[in-house]
């Protein structure tokens, strides 16, 4: 096994991106969610969003939303500080969906559901969220596309799952991306409506092809172009953009900024996805994007198919540096996935060049999919004593953080925890998807600049020649 820690990942320059120590397994979210969630086994993974409760009052703290839709509060952007009581009343949670329920009040959609003939959905096009749905990213409209909006007005980018019986006997899932809005800081949300789908939803799925569609993504606001940007896994990562302030259905196109090709509409190519040419050298899933004001760029991490966490950065959200693996530990795969970068201003912004990367890796406990974390710093930023403390707390004493191996670990991720039959944990699913690794060898650009540079001469990336036959969905 090899591990990277306390080393610069760019030998040619001053410190660029640095893992501050060894990732550690954390109990914090699981411990505090268990008392009020009947289904803690399905609660914690690394996918979460975090935003300030009140942008004008730092003492108000943060709202954290983990999958599946467990809203929590925190006094700081560290999950060590999450409250033992949830943000919303669990008794008002919307129940009856495929997972543990959503901890908010569900309201009717405010935008019409687009017709199945354009979204590619089965039936009348309204069943996209019949299984599960999780808000992956939320933004204040007042901090993004609508500066005059009420600060309590949020836009949420959602992962939707439609569960259906396939004609091949499969228990099938079609994933899509939706948009939803809240007027009361996430206490209630309008039902989402689809914005990005993939291909025509087909019922001819079987056990080997149970997961179709697209739904594992990161969204971000591009202030210079005044565009919403989504990077989503369709094998390798693909990019979609919308210049509609509310990111509404019908306003999205897939785009490859390297070749200049675009695919307007919901479903993209019915044949091969329009892969982002800069990101095809490491195909992977579940990206997380954060703005770094200190270094004037955005950073992205994602899970490489087959194991390992990949990293890249950009100055414009269009062209990305060649991705590279920043952490890979065979002990922790195939479960290393769902990374989220969190900075001092939540999961969308770091002002000081420092983030904590939360993710899910091998299970060394009895429940669910435990959260792991490690601090990542950029451009030579160093941690203070306070920064270090935020990762240290809540660590399991018997985790592999010291380098000792838990030989009893099965790495299957589910332990003895009950799992919903309609919602197999992704770890179990991953065990059968790992063989599809379409990664081509990583080439370092040799860039020696600490800033987030765009090397316009870098044409070394090639389009991935193989494609994932199946996509891994986010389970909960």
Ligand X SMILES: *[C@@H]1O[C@H](CO)[C@@H](O)[C@H](O)[C@H]1NC(C)=O
**Which positions lie near ligand X, rule CB under 6 A?**
10, 16-17, 123-124, 126-127, 295, 297, 313, 321, 364-366, 378-379, 384, 386, 389, 393, 398, 406, 408, 445, 447, 449-450, 452
Cβ 224 to ligand X shortest distance, Å: 18
Nearest residue to ligand X on Cβ basis: 16
Cβ closest to ligand X, residue 347 vs residue 447:
447
Cβ closest to ligand X, residue 95 vs residue 388:
388
Cβ 5 to ligand X shortest distance, Å: 17
The answer to whether 290 and 349 are in contact (CB under 8 A) is yes
**Quick one: how far is CA 384 from the chain centroid?**
27
Tokens of residue 279, six digits: 């990101």
Nearest to 244 by CA among 153, 152, 177, 145: 145
Cβ closest to ligand X, residue 384 vs residue 462:
384
Cβ closest to ligand X, residue 17 vs residue 303:
17
Cβ 469 to ligand X shortest distance, Å: 29
b vs e for 21-52, b when ≥16 Cβ sit within 10 Å of the residue's Cβ?
Answer: ebbbbbbbbbebbbebbebbbbbbbbbbbbbb
Cβ 342 to ligand X shortest distance, Å: 17
Nearest to 234 by CA among 195, 176, 289: 176
Cβ 309 to ligand X shortest distance, Å: 14
Cβ closest to ligand X, residue 139 vs residue 378:
378
Report the C-alpha gap between 270 and 272 in whole angstroms.
7
* 392 C-beta neighbours (distance < 10 Å), count: 13
Cβ 381 to ligand X shortest distance, Å: 9
Cβ closest to ligand X, residue 202 vs residue 393:
393
Cβ 324 to ligand X shortest distance, Å: 6
Cβ 145 to ligand X shortest distance, Å: 26
Cβ closest to ligand X, residue 184 vs residue 406:
406
Report the C-alpha gap between 297 and 447 in whole angstroms.
15
The answer to whether 442 and 311 are in contact (CB under 8 A) is no
As a dihedral over the C-alpha atoms of residue 272, residue 278, residue 280, residue 283, rounded to 10 degrees, the angle is: -120
Cβ closest to ligand X, residue 437 vs residue 450:
450
Cβ 113 to ligand X shortest distance, Å: 8
Cβ closest to ligand X, residue 124 vs residue 421:
124
In residues, how long is the chain? 476
Cβ 30 to ligand X shortest distance, Å: 12
Kindly state the DSSP code that residue 371 receives in the 8-state scheme. E
Query: What values do phi and psi take at 147, rounded to 5?
Result: -55, -25
Distance of CA 384 to CAs 15, 279, 450, Å?
Answer: 16, 33, 20
Cβ closest to ligand X, residue 178 vs residue 186:
178
Kindly state the DSSP code that residue 397 receives in the 8-state scheme. T
Can you give 84-96 as a three-state secondary structure string?
A: EEECCCHHHCECC
Angle, alpha carbons 240-243-249 (nearest 5°): 70
């Amino acid at each position: 096994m090899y591990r990277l820690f306390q080393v610069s990942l760019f030998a040619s320059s001053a410190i660029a991106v640095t893992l501050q120590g060894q990732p550690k397994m954390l109990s914090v979210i699981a411990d505090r969610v268990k008392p009020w969630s009947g289904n803690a086994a399905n609660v914690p993974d690394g996918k979460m969003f975090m935003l300030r409760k009140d942008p004008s009052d730092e003492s108000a703290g943060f709202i954290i939303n983990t999958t599946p839709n467990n809203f929590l509060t925190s006094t700081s952007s560290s999950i060590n500080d999450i409250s033992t009581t949830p943000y919303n009343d669990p008794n008002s949670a919307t129940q009856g969906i495929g997972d543990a329920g959503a901890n908010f009040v569900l309201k009717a959609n405010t935008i019409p559901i687009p017709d199945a003939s354009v979204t590619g959905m089965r039936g009348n096009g309204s069943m996209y969220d019949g299984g599960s749905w999780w808000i992956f990213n939320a933004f204040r409209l007042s901090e993004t596309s609508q500066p005059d909006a009420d600060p309590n007005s949020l836009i949420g980018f959602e992962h939707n799952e439609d569960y259906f019986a396939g004609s091949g006997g499969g228990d099938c899932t079609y994933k899509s991306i939706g948009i939803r809005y809240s007027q009361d800081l996430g206490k209630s949300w309008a039902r989402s409506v689809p914005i990005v789908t993939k291909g025509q939803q087909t019922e001819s799925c079987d056990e080997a092809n149970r997961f179709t569609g697209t739904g594992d993504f990161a969204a971000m606001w591009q202030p210079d172009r005044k565009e919403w940007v989504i990077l989503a896994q369709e094998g390798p990562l693909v990019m979609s953009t919308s210049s509609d302030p509310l990111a509404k259905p019908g306003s999205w196109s897939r785009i490859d900024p390297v070749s200049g090709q675009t695919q307007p509409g919901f479903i993209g190519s019915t044949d091969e996805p329009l892969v982002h040419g800069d990101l095809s050298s490491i195909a992977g899933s579940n990206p997380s994007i954060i703005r770094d004001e200190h270094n004037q760029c955005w950073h992205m991490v994602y899970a490489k198919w087959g194991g390992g966490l990949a990293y890249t950065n950009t100055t414009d959200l269009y062209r990305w540096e060649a991705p590279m693996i920043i952490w890979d530990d065979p002990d922790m795969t195939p479960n290393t996935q769902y990374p989220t970068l969190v900075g001092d201003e939540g999961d969308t912004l770091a002002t000081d060049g420092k983030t904590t990367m939360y993710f899910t890796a091998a299970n060394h406990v009895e429940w669910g999919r435990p959260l792991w974390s490690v601090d990542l710093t950029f451009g030579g930023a160093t941690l203070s004593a306070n920064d270090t403390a935020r990762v240290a707390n809540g660590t399991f004493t018997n985790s592999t953080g010291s380098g000792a191996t838990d030989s009893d670990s099965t790495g299957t991720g589910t332990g003895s925890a009950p799992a919903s039959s309609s919602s197999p944990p992704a770890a179990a699913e991953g065990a059968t998807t790992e063989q599809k690794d379409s990664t081509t060898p990583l080439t370092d650009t040799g860039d020696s600049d600490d800033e987030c540079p765009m090397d316009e001469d870098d044409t070394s990336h090639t389009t991935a020649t193989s494609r994932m036959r199946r996509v891994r969905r986010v389970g909960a």
